[in-house]
Structure 1
């Protein structure tokens, strides 16, 4: 089943957002270009110094402030199906004052989580009595629970990035640089059906011990372990993210000793996924296996992050997050072990919580692949 079988931006979503706004104690949400606006409307507006802002009052009708020169783009976006009023503004207008006048005297407004500081401060000046709160207070509970359409989009993304990992063994060989391999992987991400490349990590040898290493001109050598973490955004707007670890020839003995521990830890965390268990318990399931084997100090990051229209979004799979999983929650499970200056390893799958258990959306082999 493909994402075309579903509606990723149903008209009912706006009503749910309005209800969530009221439940969060906010008078309105102010959503500027970015993930929050895309989630509610499907409109991928350009982030400009000119204000584009969807205003969703807790009571009353939503409206979209849009620069007149961007009106045609807005009208041709999925936002046109929602029945919201489009309010074009001209170069000499003050759109912030217009929003303030329409809202009256709000006590609290929710700002898009990634709103530019420039825009936040202008809203503060236009509505000085309004407390500013992150819109995520209202939107996160909605965005975390993926609809059937969103789950289908994430499955599609998972299959596409799996197809790229299937090509990686043919790209890794001694004598090539990380950057050369990375360029080939980026091309493969687009060829697999992604609309854009979000990141390509090729961490060879000691660079694999840096979880967010990018690409460098380091030449891959025989015996190197290589961490390959890649992802992109599909035409649907939903993201992929998957990590596999490879070895160019036989790996070092100390690496082999901990890689199997890592694989068991990742399996344990994936197996623990089911409705009602806390996010931190998934983190603990992976961390306990690694700690018991004596590598606890070498697992230096959280076990995972939510994924959807952003690569990193809620829920975060980390100690202290007591949020209980619910059907539709989608997130990465990616424990890692890193020996600074020598090598590292990470195994990452996207998992979605079902009605009874978790479903892995990435299905490439998790055993070490020696090329």
Structure 2
């Protein structure tokens, strides 16, 4: 999508890459140190911890088991990955996790070999999808077959307990299960509570994702010169991530100049100019599927930042650092909100939607609202040791020429928050 003013259009055309570019393409450089550290992570311990956490939450709610379609929940429970982005919108592979019993993965027949060898998956069976793309006019027939098999497993491993937790269960499948007398419950609370506290192996995986992210962001910083487009700059995040075993980027959040205010403009073909603010939010799903979620704002070289830009940057930095200092185990979400940095009135209308959110495979529980928004959507809870969270800030006045987006990812330890990223936060606006 092209959202350029006329004065940018000719520059875009002049910068366009020829349709037949025959220049040799060099391989994306790889950092062997990052790969070596990834190899040391005990994947079996990682998988067993996650399954134990999930089962404890299912048991706490008296669920006989869970059926999981969501790729994030599948990854957490089974340690397997197969076409995650596609199955996010075409739910067709799934797992049955007995609270006391086996983990059974239902996989595409033609790709069962892809997920062989998991130390926690007890059995792999062919899936029975009933989405219209794969079942067509036979959707009702397939939903019947699917529900019959799930009901059989529930009877075998749940006994008289007919309480089954599910995440994504289309109406036809849900109705068929209910016709068997199965009681359906939303599994997401149990899964989010399980995912909230990370093991040492999980934190090591997050750190690997952050290392890849830092490397990519460093390459972006080097490439930032007047004349590069937002999409060209943003692409460096992707290629570095993929080259190091990463998986995808959740959002297209890189913007420049006037497109940084208000926030949440998606990356486009705008040509970045000297003196522009360039802000981005990585949302990087890296190695092992874990999230590296930091935001930075830079000034494009060849023009110094204005006094106004410096003030915005200083205030955003202050907000992030102040709120990070509050974090400790035992602090309630409400206490955090009440003690948090006070956003100046002129920036309140455009402020970021939340002050903090959890991180794991993607954005996770909790999401902490401002006190002013508490009645609308805030909820309480307690921060715990080994939670990984990202602390957010966006500052830009309504109608302003640009704005500043900053975000820092931390792990909460016994003594407070420990920063995971080495990408500079303070003074990053300097040219």
Tell me the TM-score normalised to structure 1 length.
Answer: 0.86
**Match of residue 389, structure 2, among 321, 325, 331:** 331
Quickly say closer, same or farther: Cα 1:6–1:265, change in 2 above 3 A: same
* 1:269–1:283 CA contact under 8 A, matched in 2: no
Whether 2:47 is the aligned partner of 1:10: answer yes
Map 1:106-145 → 2, pairs under 5 A: 107-112=162-167, 115=168, 118=170, 121-128=172-179, 129-145=181-197
**Match of residue 123, structure 2, among 71, 80, 85:** 85
Q: Relative to structure 2, which stretch is displaced further, 295-304 or 64-73?
A: 64-73
Give the aligned partner of residue 37 of structure 1: 74
**Match of residue 409, structure 2, among 344, 350, 353:** 350
**Match of residue 205, structure 1, among 257, 264, 271:** 257
The CA deviation at 1:196 is 3.6
Q: Which digits, 9 at most, give the CA deviation of each residue in 1:40-83, with x for residues without a partner?
A: 1111134296843321233444433344334323324x2xx125
In structure 2, distance between residues paired with 1:35 and 1:283? 28
**Match of residue 99, structure 1, among 124, 132, 150:** 150
Going by fraction, where is helix more abundant, 1 or 2?
Answer: 2
Q: Which digits, 9 at most, give the CA deviation of each residue in 1:307-348, with x for residues without a partner?
A: 1112x1112232423211111111111111123442111111
The CA deviation at 1:17 is 2.6
In structure 1, distance between residues paired with 2:337 and 2:263? 17
Q: Which digits, 9 at most, give the CA deviation of each residue in 1:213-260, with x for residues without a partner?
A: 221222222321111222422232212121111112223333322221
Give the aligned partner of residue 215 of structure 1: 267
Map 1:1-371 → 2, pairs under 5 A: 2-3=37-38, 4-7=40-43, 9-11=46-48, 13-46=50-83, 47=87, 51-76=92-117, 78=118, 81-82=119-120, 84-88=122-126, 94-104=145-155, 107-112=162-167, 115=168, 118=170, 121-128=172-179, 129-191=181-243, 194-248=246-300, 249-288=303-342, 290-291=343-344, 295-310=347-362, 312-319=363-370, 320-341=378-399, 342-366=401-425, 367-371=427-431
Whose radius of gyration is greater, 1 or 2? 2
In structure 2, distance between residues paired with 1:188 and 1:11? 30
In structure 1, distance between residues paired with 2:212 and 2:287? 12
Q: Relative to structure 2, which stretch is displaced further, 138-147 or 312-321?
A: 312-321
In structure 2, stretches of 5+ residues that fail to align are 1-35, 130-140, 371-377
SS in 1 for 2:365: strand
Residues paired across the two proteins, number: 361
Q: Which digits, 9 at most, give the CA deviation of each residue in 1:279-324, with x for residues without a partner?
A: 3444555442x23x753333141012211112x1112232423211
Q: Which digits, 9 at most, give the CA deviation of each residue in 1:340-364, with x for residues without a partner?
A: 4421111111111112211111122
In structure 1, distance between residues paired with 2:413 and 2:194? 16
Tell me the TM-score normalised to structure 2 length.
Answer: 0.75
Give the aligned partner of residue 16 of structure 2: none
